[in-house]
Structure 1
Amino acid sequence: MLAELLALRLVGEYEVVAGRHGLAHEVTSVVVGTSLRQLDELPAGCLPLFPRERLAVEEVSADVALRVAHRRGLPGLVVERTTNALPEITGRLADRFGMPLVLVDRLDAHTAVAAVDRHLRGPRLAGLRMVDSMLTRLRQVPDSADGLLSAVRAAAGVPAAMVDGRGVTIAGDAATVDPATRSELVKRLPTGGPAAPVTLFGDGHTLICHPATVADGLPANLWLVARLPLAGRGMVESVGRVLALGAWAYTAWIATKSLDGEREARYRAVVLADVVEYADGIAPGTSERATALGWRLSGWHVGIHLNIDQAVGPGVRPTSLIAGLERVLRDNDLPHDLIQRPGGWATWHTRDAEPEPEEIDRLARRLGHALRTFRDDHPGVLVAGGLGGGHDGAEGIGASLHEARQASLLARARGGSGAVETFGSMSVDRLLSGWQRSEPLLRATSSLLAPLREVDPGGDLVRTLMVYLDHESSATATANVLNVHRNTVLQRLERIRGLLPLDLSQPNDRLVAHLAARAVADEDA
């Protein structure tokens, strides 16, 4: 590419005075320019370098040379500068043809031809050296994105970064993709279907992008990007091969890391299940595995259970959710090695002495702050937490985790995402209140009491039912509370019995009707 030869100063100090749009033209060979007749015999892609005595840009012969070069498919004209100014008509002609007109101070045509010729013959060898350097560096697989990008920079000698599909830099040199280039890059990156390498030619630079996928034909979330001056095909292909090697090494590393993480997570879940199930007689092997994991079985334990609704986070992988949770827990000085359990994820806090209620409350406040931070960072993902009471010994881990799960269900029903409850605060009123606010119950009660609400939008029938059951099925007490005549209550009850598919003389039906009326009344309030 002509721009690459100029950027490398292979022809000396230069100025592109016209035809800049053609700087991406490929250069395949180079000669010392001698005459207009010679131009008409040069093959496409050949770049002529004219000493001033062979071609002067202020003369009409320069216009003829531009026309011939355009017709022959030459990449541009390099001419030694004279003291005279470039005629305006000549500049307009070069711009119209997209034919770069390059003026060079004190052009040594023969030396420049030799330098350009070496460069044109060299990209293949230079590319092989890049690839060999990258392979050497990958003998020790990088253990991070930054480590990989360091290898790319060292092998290719250009800035490199990792970006996501929005063009945001995840790792590496932030200046690789500048704000002015990002929007154009995002337009070029495939948004669906198989990902393929992308080359973007900008103003004075080239971006080479390679997808990081575990196999060909898959969509890409991450891209390796290298930035270099406007470059020719040989340079682009060489750097592209380095990026391809880097993408292969990176995806192999993250796949191995993911498998190791999943294997460890399953192992930890199995060990915890053994500790919980056989707490009164833990086998020596289980104690050894727990010790290897860094778990302390003795002491006083406070269980933590997190209830996560992953279904409301479309496109969010569970592994990324758990990693985010562990991060906010660690930032809030809480136990952060989460283990999958029935109904959610668990961990526990251990100390030497029995924890006071105030200490558990402090843990709950820190957990609440962590979950609210997580909630704000992950809109649409619901998470609630529960803490168990303090329990002693290995059997105390399972006991406190069981309590923590119950508390987390109450937190979810009462407060929604980010809420936290402690098992010690679970009074009967709080349990009923939490249950009455739960979405499944609200849906069921809305359907059950729909006949009453359809014939009585004002809600007198539902209120009468609730007060009647609140006062042990006493029509007189109900009339006093509602400030109506007892006969009015009896008439309403008769209508209620006729509309509901329930028998209020049966304890189970009475309980269902009572809870349903409470839930509907609470929802209306």
Structure 2
Amino acid sequence: MTGLDLTALLAEPANGALRHVAGPDEGDWPTALLALTEELLETAGAGRLAVVATPLPREPWRVDALLRRVHERGYSALAVPGAERLDAGARRLAARIGLAVLAVERPVELAETSWRLAVARDALVLDLVRRLTVAFRHPARDLADLLSHLAAAAGAGVALLDATGVVEEHGGELAPWLGGHADLVRWDRWTDIVASPEMSVATVRVDSPSRPGLRLAFFAPGIRDAQVDALAVAAEIAMPAVAARILIDEVNTVTDASVSSDLLHDFLVSGDAHHEDVDRRMTERGWRTTGYHLGFRVIGRTRVDTLALLRAVSGALGPLGIESHAAAHGQGVTAWLRWVRIPARRDLERHVHELRAVHETLRRSFNVASGVGSLQAERAGLAATIGEAGDAARIAAQRSATNWFVRVDGLGLEQLLLARTENDTFLPAAESLLAPLRGDDDVLLTTLTSYLDHESGIAATADALGVHRNTVTGRIQRIQETLGVDMHDPSVRLALHLACRAVLR
């Protein structure tokens, strides 16, 4: 296909701000001819596009006369400043004689672009390369920012594709078209061009070892062969920068994930105590501990790519419209939502429902189980709800009936205790701790378990065991002496309770 057409010119970014005003809304012209005034145009138009630099006259009769003269000289289209002022009569005239009338703000720019498209195709490529080079001078924050720069410089859409479709796009919408034409893209080729009446796409394979199967696409609707060829060159030139940006972003992601993971670990280890360094790092990261928090934990039921899971969780939480944070944590991802003021019960339930939807979305790509903690306040509450979400996720990993999703508010105390103690590290330690209480039908161990189950109540424990209160008091004293612990310490009682549950389950 040679020459010019209206659609191709309208698709060009440097077209002098061209707009169709009247007459045929499509055209195929050999070349364009620029003249200062209509009188200076060549007398043999030969179906060309006439570009006149002098604005259209204001008198209707003079406008009609100009349109007739341009048409009689054999031109198929006229581009002139001020054409948007055509009245209804002039528009009907243009339609009747078959003259396309275009408004242009920068006639010289339009003429240069027309020349590149119709005659000097290498100039079209060089101009596009020059614009891309300018775009490379602007530092990009990330891959999305780079693709946005490339789209703006090329005056075309830019997208990353994989076998599933469009991964990311800027400067246009390729996804709807690709949905019905994906089979036209030849994935085995280094470069490929797909041209259709609706869309033309030039793609190149992205040379990225860490993310195989990607293609960089430059696309635009209604462009001609020369423009598609130029976009193919642009894609090849831009690809190394895109591949490098992918690598930089992945390094930054790994580094950021490591920093977040370490910070979350340090926060949870610090417990209720304020740690100046931890608090400072959390503030710098935007992790505010004030307000109200809801923990969300996602763990792999089989081996999962934690970084990929972290990206998926972060991406899914963003659209919820609530402050959220996520960090890689152990063999999974820990996240939480935060409110400045306590949310209404209805709003809280809605957000929990949204977290379930996030879990179901994640399940399409990862074999995971998810847990949600309870609403908690302030710094201590953040640690508590994160712990609860972890317990719920561990229980969820064994519950196919709930689609591997559990909310801690729906669990009983016994299930939570078992969730904390069902692991290969805790059980041996629990057995070693309670070993001195074994013997004599495990009377001391049974008494301790009942005592802790009844919230350290002597009378309630005695009733449960069917013994005198003094008997329970004596046994508890013996237990403290045997184990060398202080039963008045809440943390000691919790540790012993967990150990009893693990050993006697």
- Scaled by the length of structure 1, what TM-score is found? 0.49
- Are 2:391 and 1:371 aligned? no
- Are 2:223 and 1:223 aligned? no
Residue 30 of structure 2 corresponds to: 10
Aligned-pair Cα RMSD in Å: 5.0
2-structure distance, mates of 1:283, 1:147? 37
Residue 422 of structure 1 corresponds to: 408
2-structure distance, mates of 1:276, 1:413? 25
Quote the offset at 1:386 in angstroms.
3.1
| Aligned residue identity for 1:223 | L
2:202 to 201, 208, 218: 208
Gaps of 5+ in 1: 14-48, 50-80, 82-104, 106-114, 437-510, 516-525
Larger Rg: 1
Residue 298 of structure 2 corresponds to: 306
* CA separation of 1:147 and 1:168: change in aligned 2, threshold 3 A: same
* Alignment of structure 1 residues 456-495 onto 2, 5 Å: none
Residue 437 of structure 2 corresponds to: none
1:245 to 215, 227, 237: 237
2:398 to 413, 417, 431: 413
* CA separation of 1:364 and 1:11: change in aligned 2, threshold 3 A: closer
| Aligned residue identity for 2:120 | G
- Are 2:245 and 1:261 aligned? no
* CA separation of 1:350 and 1:210: change in aligned 2, threshold 3 A: closer
Quote the offset at 1:208 in angstroms.
1.9
* CA separation of 1:284 and 1:151: change in aligned 2, threshold 3 A: closer
Quote the offset at 1:263 in angstroms.
1.4
Q: Is the 8 A contact 2:369 2:405 kept in 1?
A: yes
Residue 325 of structure 1 corresponds to: 313
* CA separation of 1:370 and 1:287: change in aligned 2, threshold 3 A: closer
SS at match of 1:132: helix
Q: Is the 8 A contact 1:162 1:225 kept in 2?
A: no
Quote the offset at 1:136 in angstroms.
0.7
Q: Give the % identical residues.
A: 17
- Are 2:128 and 1:130 aligned? yes
Residue 328 of structure 2 corresponds to: 340
1-structure distance, mates of 2:410, 2:196? 64
2-structure distance, mates of 1:391, 1:239? 54
Q: Is the 8 A contact 1:271 1:289 kept in 2?
A: yes
CA offset digits 1:407-452 (Å, max 9, x no partner): 222233234435222167324479889x99xxxxxxxxxxxxxxxx
| Aligned residue identity for 1:426 | G
2-structure distance, mates of 1:118, 1:362? 59
Residue 288 of structure 1 corresponds to: 280
1-structure distance, mates of 2:182, 2:415? 58
CA offset digits 1:119-141 (Å, max 9, x no partner): 78733333222212211122114
Quote the offset at 1:268 in angstroms.
1.6
Gaps of 5+ in 2: 6-27, 34-45, 47-73, 75-97, 99-112, 423-500
| Aligned residue identity for 1:244 | E
| Aligned residue identity for 1:10 | P
2-structure distance, mates of 1:421, 1:119? 62
Residue 264 of structure 2 corresponds to: 272
Q: Is the 8 A contact 1:328 1:370 kept in 2?
A: no
Quote the offset at 1:164 in angstroms.
3.9
Quote the offset at 1:267 in angstroms.
0.9
SS at match of 1:346: strand
| Aligned residue identity for 2:204 | H
* Alignment of structure 1 residues 40-119 onto 2, 5 Å: none
| Aligned residue identity for 2:133 | L
Q: Is the 8 A contact 1:159 1:226 kept in 2?
A: yes
1-structure distance, mates of 2:386, 2:167? 40
Quote the offset at 1:151 in angstroms.
4.5
Residue 458 of structure 1 corresponds to: none
2-structure distance, mates of 1:142, 1:152? 10
Q: Is the 8 A contact 1:208 1:225 kept in 2?
A: yes
SS at match of 2:29: coil
Quote the offset at 1:149 in angstroms.
5.4
Quote the offset at 1:197 in angstroms.
0.9
* CA separation of 1:352 and 1:177: change in aligned 2, threshold 3 A: closer
* CA separation of 1:266 and 1:139: change in aligned 2, threshold 3 A: same
1-structure distance, mates of 2:366, 2:153? 42
- Scaled by the length of structure 2, what TM-score is found? 0.50
2-structure distance, mates of 1:177, 1:158? 15
1-structure distance, mates of 2:368, 2:314? 13
* CA separation of 1:221 and 1:288: change in aligned 2, threshold 3 A: same
2-structure distance, mates of 1:293, 1:410? 31
Count of aligned pairs between the two proteins: 326
